Amino acid sequence: MAIQTQITPQDKIWTYEDYAALPDDGNRYEVIEGELVMSPAPRVDHQRCSFNLGLIIGPHVKSHGLGEVLAAPCDVVLDKRNVLQPDLIFISRDRSKVVTELNLQGAPDLAVEILSPSSLRRDRIQKMRIYARHGVPHLWLIDAQAQTLEEFVLDGSTYRLTSTCGGDETFRPALFPGLEIPLKEVWGQPIQEQTP
């Protein structure tokens, strides 16, 4: 996620109802522990990574009838004071009841957060705690700049790191047995200027 800025007085506790009443101003917001946070547009490497990963896991999920994959912005309403927008979300058929016409009302099976230097603490500490508290079983943290992916699985009330990979390695997620994700395809390459 991109740079985040608090835009409200610190003494106001935001709820989902307050958040839902915001005018559509083109900005991306989340409510994190009752604080309204605005995120400017993500960096290009962030968006490239999110798009490419979606292109890999989406067809796998669809072809195996596992559920569905959604991309941000999509509200995940975990409680009245926590409305998050993971970069990618997987919802299994077993949890499909959390998907409503407006948003997700509860925990997805997988939340993917793509980190940026400005959101590192929020994503690694605050949001991880919130996801764990609300029972999101799988969490992937991706650093597009460092080209690393960390896979976490909920173990009781906290996350356990189950694998770390990066560069041109192949990621084999525990959540999707049989799926191999060549990370060089996730990082992608910028468009090269062609010479005549």
Domains of the chain in start order, with CATH, are: 43-187 (3.90.1570.10)
Pairing of strands 5-6, 148-155: unpaired
Query: Residues 63-108: pLDDT tens digits?
Result: 999 999 999 889 999 999 999 999 999 999 999 999 999 999 999 9
Residues in the chain: 196
- The pTM of this model reads 0.86
What is the spatial distance between Cα 87 and Cα 175, in angstroms, rounded to a whole number? 17
The dihedral formed by the CA atoms of 107, 176, 1 and 148, expressed in degrees to the nearest 10:
140
What is the spatial distance between Cα 108 and Cα 95, in angstroms, rounded to a whole number? 7
Give me the percent of the chain exceeding a pLDDT of 90. 65
Query: Residues 13-56: pLDDT tens digits?
Result: 898 888 888 888 777 788 888 888 877 777 888 889 999 999 99
The reported pLDDT for the residue numbered 192 is: 58
